[in-house]
Structure 1
Amino acid sequence: MLFRPVRLEDKAEIERFTRVAGICNCDLAFANMYCWEETYRSAWCVEEGFLLIRFRIDGGRRIGYMQPLGEGDFTHLLPGLEADARAAGQPLRLAGLTPEGAAALRRAYPAFGIRRNRDSEDYVYRADDLRRLEGRRYQPKRNHINRFEAAYDYRYEELTPSLAPECLRLERQWRAAHEARAAELTAEQRAMQRAFDRFEELELRGGALFVDDRLAAFTYGSAIDDATFCIHAEKADIRYEGAYTMINRLFAQHLPPHYTLIDREEDLGLEGLRRSKLSYHPLFLQPKLSAERLTEEQSQLRALWRVCFPEDTQDDIEQFLLSRYDPARCLSARRDGRIAAMLHLVPFGRTVYIYAVATAPDRRRQGLAGGLLREALACARAEGFRFAALIPGSDDLRRWYAEYGFTGACPVCFRTHDGFDFGTGDPARDLAMVLALGDEPFDATELLLSDLPQES
């Protein structure tokens, strides 16, 4: 496999695969690959009739590979991709997998785990919904537009490279108000400059909104395929109330009618951006699953988990193992070279949540889980946690945990950055037993376990 950097002259060859893939993924838009190449070091090759794309995850040192695009099953290409990753001293990591691609990978290579990254999923809308904003659910958007139209003398025009200086000025003004994301936004500025430098060659299309001859907002994007248009950038001067809503609608109205879907890319886990994108009522979120080979320990934990918690889906188990599992906070007991019992310590502020306590059926009543629980509580006290909490799965377990000092049946609510649910799946059954690890008593009537940033 001979990967080479994405260059402008590669557009036709790459799009020969991406435009017929039928996947609403902004990462497959050639303009995105080209404009962000400096950050992600995107590279490509064609192997056995499949397009392979390699990139730097989050612009860092870790290497990832997009789901191979081509006719039929791609899984026979994985040994080659794994060898390429190994040559760089890294494990094979796959990204941008569709649910169908993830299922094929699982069938062919059970040692791989699959996880969802909600922050990277694309918001895909009906183009006509954004053009018309009809119905009660879009009333707030129409109100924004009505106020904008009443307040300002405005005009809309097609975005051309001649407007680049004004757009970049507005982008610098916008960026100055978002200093907390300085590194990310500097990379975005470089990508935007590259887009304007090759606007026509990249077949970009955009719109500009002026108020009293001053640029108030602009947007641009490119086609993913014949029916799907992807918005790559949208900036507005927030001094003009409703400017974002206005540029969004006007651009959708000026898109050719053969575009029936509009992909507005991901929210990056930013709460405000997520609220905004959801407020336009997407038709669907495009899954962009990732996969990597489980370690031997993770594989054994998965096997034990599936035996002891058959109600948990394989997706949920692997989601935990690939995004939440911490070897330093996983306690296990081995017998005959295999993991026979386990538990996980998950920190939530001052409280440590004890999760997925399990013992293999043929190793029960040997004191393994009790030994791990005592070790877990000693570790929690040493780390300075105030409380330990867990949700027993049965009345028998509730009595067993009571022997270690856990008490109560406190309603518990989980709020997690990735939406992972540590509960039973039924909020009415999420009743936690709590143990005070020091002198401070636990007297709350509800337990909130959150890893979301604290609002100031």
Structure 2
Amino acid sequence: MIEFQPVRLEDRATIERFTMSSDITNCDLSFSNMYCWQEVYHSAWAVVDGFLVIRFQIDGGERLGYMQPVGEGDCARIIPALREDAHAHGQRLRIVGLTDQGRDMIRNMHIGQFAFESDRALEDYVYAADDLRNLPGRRYQPKRNHINRFTAEYPDYRYEELTPDRFQACMELEREWRQVHEGHTSELCAEQRAMQRGFAHFAELGMTGGCIYVGDRMVAFTYGSAVNDHTFDTHVEKADTEYDGAFTIINCLFARHLPERFTLINREEDLGIEGLRRAKLSYHPVVIQHKYLAIHLHPDELECKRLWTTCFGDEEQFVDSFLIRYYSRRRMLCIERDGGMAAMLHLLPFESELGRTTYIYGVATAPEHRGEGLATELMREAMRLIEERGDDAALLIPSPGEEWLRDFYGRFGFEGRTPVEFVTKDGFDFGTGNAADDLAMFWQRRPEQQRPERLRCLWNGK
């Protein structure tokens, strides 16, 4: 096992010796973020063969994640050490926050061993600092108009450096802001605790901030710290929404007060919040920084991926997304031949207008084993399980253009051509890729039950 130690204030110089010289702009590698969110993620660090490694608890739970190792050269060479550390804790290796370059390093050195995916809600928005400072050109005209309206309506406004005597006013404004955004209570309460920790050690963490006053009232504040020598990370920005334009002007003026060495400003992720996404896009980021998750695959997942790619020809990104989000060994039936997976199918849990509905998905047989009756054997076992556990219905979508499959599935009680829609939180496409071809065949426990003209299936798994 690697000897990790908790991220402490006294570790800042050691950690920043790696991060400050790095080109990685990921906001999670800001020392201030590591320290301020310590209560949630329990971040710890170690140096492994010349690379800084950060280990943390994903979402504050039991699963361990490892940040992209930071150092000179190819970080993929220390992956076996991380894998052993994860295994020592009874877990698989999960690497979080990989850049495109980091993903390619690991993919090329550990061919086929990992599945990769970037969650759009967690990708960082990175801007040219001069764009935020100057708001140049026609595309920023709406922002300049917003600022002009604010300065005309509040001519007594002023920008001030964020100093300790103003921290209490910041917390009061944050509480007011949080009341308006109570739909995200858990995240915001955690953010409040991170703010308190940051304010308690503001100078020690190398943080800097600014605020806007109208008269004696603070109407906006922001602060952050460096990710590396040329990238600044904005950790927090809050404003009183009663003062139209407060967000726009604090954003601009704070950027102008940052040292010129910062050529990039990271304004972090949008968490999938639509309004926040629109606001961040309206400032025209120079890059939306991918932060890939890499999961080391178990042997059954590797076999599933191999067979899926061979039989369906789907892109690797699609197969990886399925494996990371929805695959479960307990929901797969398979037959092995010659030491490998020869045939498979997946029994996926949904709820529909028909009740508890199993979707038979990804039915595949390796080309060299077709004609041996393996799909028939799997379908018989699938239907036995479906009936045994009392499901109300089952469905499947035969491959478009393969009419013989309808006869094959008809032997197991499936019939019809009903349009079907799959509903998931992340919008994963469980269909064919073309909604017009998503025509399902159904088996029903009660054949007399009326089938809707279009079926809507809601994911019901964990």
TM-score (norm 2): 0.86
Partner of 2:402: 395
**SS, match of residue 221 in structure 1:** strand
**SS, match of residue 334 in structure 2:** strand
Distance 1:385 1:273 in 2: 41
> Within the alignment, does 1:234 sit opposite 2:237 as a pair?
yes
Letter in 1 for 2:102: G
Partner of 1:171: 174
**SS, match of residue 90 in structure 1:** coil
Question: Which stretch of structure 1 is more off in the superposition, 90-99 or 11-20?
Answer: 90-99
Question: Which stretch of structure 1 is more off in the superposition, 84-93 or 167-176?
Answer: 84-93
Partner of 1:122: 124
> Within the alignment, does 1:254 sit opposite 2:257 as a pair?
yes
> Within the alignment, does 1:418 sit opposite 2:421 as a pair?
no
Distance 1:415 1:227 in 2: 42
- C-alpha displacement at 1:304, in angstroms? 0.8
Partner of 2:209: 206
Partner of 1:187: 190
Partner of 1:71: 72
Partner of 2:105: 104
Is the 1:115–1:323 contact (alpha carbons within 8 Å) kept by the matching residues of 2? Answer: no
Distance 1:105 1:91 in 2: 16
Partner of 1:91: 92
Question: What's the CA shift string for 1:309-351, capped at 9, x where partnerless?
Answer: 23x2223212211222133432333445543222234455416
Q: Give the counterpart of 2:363 among 351, 357, 362.
A: 357
Is the 1:6–1:42 contact (alpha carbons within 8 Å) kept by the matching residues of 2? Answer: yes
Distance 2:65 2:251 in 1: 32
> Within the alignment, does 1:131 sit opposite 2:133 as a pair?
yes
Is the 1:117–1:418 contact (alpha carbons within 8 Å) kept by the matching residues of 2? Answer: no
Question: What's the CA shift string for 1:413-444, capped at 9, x where partnerless?
Answer: 6665435444445x476443343735232313
Distance 1:135 1:423 in 2: 43
Letter in 2 for 1:356: G
In 2 relative to 1, CA 255–353 (structure 1 residues): closer, same or farther, beyond 3 Å? farther
Q: How many residues get paired?
A: 447
**SS, match of residue 2 in structure 1:** coil
**SS, match of residue 228 in structure 2:** coil
Question: Which stretch of structure 1 is more off in the superposition, 247-256 or 68-77?
Answer: 247-256
Q: State the identity %.
A: 52
In 2 relative to 1, CA 5–102 (structure 1 residues): closer, same or farther, beyond 3 Å? same
Question: What's the CA shift string for 1:131-176, capped at 9, x where partnerless?
Answer: 3444555455445444434443422222122210000111122233
Question: What's the CA shift string for 1:340-366, capped at 9, x where partnerless?
Answer: 222234455416554322111122233
Letter in 1 for 2:187: E
**SS, match of residue 356 in structure 1:** strand
Partner of 1:60: 61
- C-alpha displacement at 1:197, in angstroms? 1.8
In 2 relative to 1, CA 271–71 (structure 1 residues): closer, same or farther, beyond 3 Å? same
Distance 2:369 2:193 in 1: 58
Distance 1:218 1:132 in 2: 19
Partner of 2:31: 30
Is the 1:122–1:265 contact (alpha carbons within 8 Å) kept by the matching residues of 2? Answer: yes
> Within the alignment, does 1:442 sit opposite 2:448 as a pair?
no
Letter in 2 for 1:255: L
Letter in 2 for 1:327: R
Is the 2:65–2:95 contact (alpha carbons within 8 Å) kept by the matching residues of 1? Answer: yes
Matches within 5 A, 1:39-54: 39-54=40-55
Residue ranges of structure 1 left out of the alignment (5+ in a row) = none
Distance 1:236 1:375 in 2: 59
Matches within 5 A, 1:299-448: 299-310=302-313, 312-335=314-337, 338-347=340-349, 349-350=351-352, 353-373=359-379, 376=382, 388-390=395-397, 392-396=399-403, 399-400=406-407, 403=410, 405-408=414-417, 410=419, 416-425=424-433, 427=434, 430-435=437-442, 437=444, 439-444=449-454
Distance 2:441 2:286 in 1: 42
Partner of 2:298: 295
Letter in 1 for 2:366: A
Is the 1:75–1:104 contact (alpha carbons within 8 Å) kept by the matching residues of 2? Answer: yes
Distance 2:361 2:137 in 1: 44
- C-alpha displacement at 1:5, in angstroms? 1.6
Is the 2:418–2:453 contact (alpha carbons within 8 Å) kept by the matching residues of 1? Answer: no
Question: What's the CA shift string for 1:244-300, capped at 9, x where partnerless?
Answer: 233222322333333222111112233333333233332222111122221222121
- C-alpha displacement at 1:243, in angstroms? 2.4
Distance 1:132 1:348 in 2: 51
- C-alpha displacement at 1:180, in angstroms? 4.6
Distance 2:425 2:310 in 1: 28
RMSD: 3.0
